[in-house]
């Protein structure tokens, strides 16, 4: 793989989606990134998400976030649907673009399954590890940005938007377990993770993310980014 997979993770209302778009715009405007593109070292900088990064994934996403299904999803079927969404995303979207040299900014990836289904729903963590292996086919992120915010703050932001989905309607205890799950999974991660304090205003959080990105860009492309 010659591209880079950069993942945004975290609980509800941490600002992942907001920050992913700021990051995309900022990267596209950086002169060093533009020269990497001109030299053909980067083909494209694209944004995607899980669940729902593919056409099949969009259908799976509707099933997963439906608040009034004809019958409730069981926790195990929910887990398998997230895994199916990821397998399709990895095979048909992420791997081909990474192989062609794209930088991909992805809203959620495998750590979300550990945090939500493993810690939140309390499903077997070893089984989730196995499923993540199958779904990712071994593809890990080059950098994960963990937007961390206290549960009450994040839920407050998400609820202020109005309508809520199945996950947002889960109990406070569930969301506390999810945050603990992210903290556990990232403490043991074998791939690079930057914890970002997402409590501040949007622009301050964006600056923290840019500072973290620049540290990694100068490692990946030392001739284009001085540290």
Tokens of 201: 């205003």
Q: Which is nearer to ligand Z5A, 32 or 81 (CB)?
A: 81
Tokens of 16: 């992942």
Q: Minimum distance between the CB of residue 118 and ligand Z5A, rounded to whole angstroms?
A: 9
- Contacts to ligand Z5A by CB under 6 A: 10, 12-18, 50-51, 82, 107-108, 112-113, 116-117, 157-158, 161, 165, 167-168, 201-202, 205
Q: Which is nearer to ligand Z5A, 3 or 15 (CB)?
A: 15
Q: Which is nearer to ligand Z5A, 50 or 98 (CB)?
A: 50
Q: Minimum distance between the CB of residue 60 and ligand Z5A, rounded to whole angstroms?
A: 10
Upper half-sphere CA count for residue 187 (Cβ side, 13 Å): 7
Q: Minimum distance between the CB of residue 10 and ligand Z5A, rounded to whole angstroms?
A: 6
Q: Which is nearer to ligand Z5A, 2 or 202 (CB)?
A: 202
- The C-alpha atoms of residue 64 and residue 52 are separated, in whole angstroms, by 10
In order of 28, 124, 174, 177, the CA distances from 192 in angstroms are 22, 25, 26, 23
Q: What is the CA radius of gyration of the chain?
A: 17
Contacts of 146 (CB under 8 A, 6+ apart): 9, 10, 182, 186, 193, 194, 195, 196
Q: Minimum distance between the CB of residue 166 and ligand Z5A, rounded to whole angstroms?
A: 7
């Amino acid at each position: 793989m010659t591209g880079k997979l950069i993942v945004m993770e975290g609980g509800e209302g941490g600002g992942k989606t907001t920050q992913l778009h700021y990051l995309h715009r900022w990267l596209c405007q950086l002169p060093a990134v533009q020269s990497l593109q001109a030299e053909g070292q980067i083909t494209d900088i694209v944004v995607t998400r899980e669940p729902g990064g593919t056409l099949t994934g969009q259908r799976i996403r509707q099933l997963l976030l439906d608040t009034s299904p004809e019958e409730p999803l069981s926790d195990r079927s929910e887990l398998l649907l997230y895994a199916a969404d990821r397998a399709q995303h990895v095979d048909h979207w992420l791997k081909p673009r990474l192989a062609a040299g794209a930088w991909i900014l992805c809203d959620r990836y495998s750590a979300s399954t550990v945090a939500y289904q493993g810690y939140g729903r309390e499903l077997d963590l070893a089984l989730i590890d196995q499923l993540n292996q199958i779904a990712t086919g071994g593809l890990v992120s080059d950098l994960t940005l963990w937007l961390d915010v206290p549960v009450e703050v994040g839920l407050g932001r998400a609820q202020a938007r109005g309508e809520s989905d199945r996950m947002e309607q889960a109990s406070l205890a569930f969301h506390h377990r999810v945050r603990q799950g992210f903290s556990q999974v990232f403490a043991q991660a074998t791939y690079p993770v930057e914890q970002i304090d997402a409590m501040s205003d949007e622009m301050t959080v964006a600056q923290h993310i840019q500072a973290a990105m620049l540290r990694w860009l100068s490692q990946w492309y030392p001739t284009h980014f001085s540290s």
